Amino acid sequence: MATDSIETPTRTPVSVLPGLAVVACGVTLAVIANKLLPAVSALTVAVLLGAVAANAHLLRPSFAPGLKLASRRLLRIGVALLGLKLVFGEVLALGPGVLALVVVAVGVTFVGTRWLGRLLGVGEGLSLLVATGFSICGASAVVAMNGVREQDEEDVAKALGLVTLCGTIAMFTLPALFHPTGLSAAGYGIWAGGSVHEVAQVVAAAAPVSGALAVAVAVKLTRVVLLAPMLAVVSVAERRRHAAAPVGERPPVVPLFVVGFLLMAVLRSVHVLPAPVLDAATFVDGLLLAAGMFALGTAVRLRSLLRSGLPVLALGLLSSALIAGLVLAGATLLT
């Protein structure tokens, strides 16, 4: 019997294979690029490769199911496994002053970026993603927030592009400003770890200053710890916003991947995982995150980014300046 509409094919194990094969190729190239240039994050390369593939019209409609699987399920598993990078003891060892500085800087940057987004006329969804990525841990935080409050794929791509651009600028700018600021090595480590977005970018920014790297990484991971409570707060707000919706359609109080993130952090902190298992899990986590980033990168459209213009770029630059200024002031007082 004839029908006026065509149903979307149900995703099957076979239907996702073409897209996952493309994702695997992108991840492989990203990992190779990272090995050749360690200062460049594999996640950053994966996003760029996805964007290139999309804008060069190299993607077929048959790739869509696999790309969707990578950008959602695989990415959320990767965010959960990200908790294995955290050791609560190392975070607490920073001391109350540094911990307070990180909490204040993250909170003020998140709220301030949302306010700047409204002032500049940037969409509420995009400003939420930018605020999360710039205050916490870059691309991983952007996609984690999108898992709690799903936004348009184009907005996710724009936020990832801003994180990549502004984090790269900070990676080269901070070392050049080390001597003019008069910071000690420890103070510079606090500044780099507290204001640069991606972990790989933090390492690249801190490595040129002897004695700063360990502090920078510890401070950076302290920001990552705050990812879970921030996501939980937004999730609760979303649940209240949808209070009138049927029970099955309301967002969960705490998303499952956030619970997984916390459980992984606890496992790492109590040292129950053998080193080989931890190394293998960390490696797999990097692949899953890169797979998700490549898939999200395919949503980047250069024309759309150009149309978004100066307000979006200004939001990223101002948010970066905000957190860098706050942490610099705090590091100067503490050291």
pLDDT in tens, 69-86: 987 788 788 878 877 877
Is it the case that residue 104 has pLDDT exceeding 90? Answer: yes
Q: What is the distance in angstroms between the CA of the first residue and the CA of the last residue of the chain?
A: 77
Please write the tens of the pLDDT for every residue from 10-51: 556 668 889 999 999 999 999 999 899 887 778 778 878 988
Higher pLDDT, 209 or 111: 111
- SS3 call for 230: helix
In degrees, to the nearest 5, what angle opens at C-alpha 214 toward C-alphas 98 and 172? Answer: 90
Say if residue 275 is exposed, middle or buried (CB neighbours under 10 Å; 0-12, 13-18, 19+).
exposed
Is it the case that residue 233 has pLDDT exceeding 90? Answer: no
Give the pLDDT of residue 5. 35
pTM for this one?
0.72
Torsion angle, CA of 118/238/316/304, rounded to 10 degrees?
Answer: -90
Q: Which of 332, 144, 331 is nearest to 225 (CA)?
A: 144
Give the pLDDT of residue 87. 77
Alpha carbons 109 and 322: distance in angstroms, whole number: 6
Give percent above pLDDT 70 in the chain. Answer: 88
Q: Is residue 323 within 8 Å of residue 135, measured between CB atoms?
A: yes
Q: Which two tokens stand for residue 283?
A: 């490696």
Give the pLDDT of residue 265. 83
Burial annotation 76-92 (CB, 10 A radius, 16+ → b, else e): bbbbbbbbbbbbeeebe
Q: Is residue 82 within 8 Å of residue 285, measured between CB atoms?
A: yes
**CB contact set of 287 (below 8 Å; sequence gap of 6+):** 27, 31
Q: Which two tokens stand for residue 41?
A: 């994050």
CA-to-CA separations, 184 to 65, 97, 99, 329, in angstroms, rounded: 51, 16, 18, 13
Give the pLDDT of residue 154. 78
Mean pLDDT of 284-291: 89
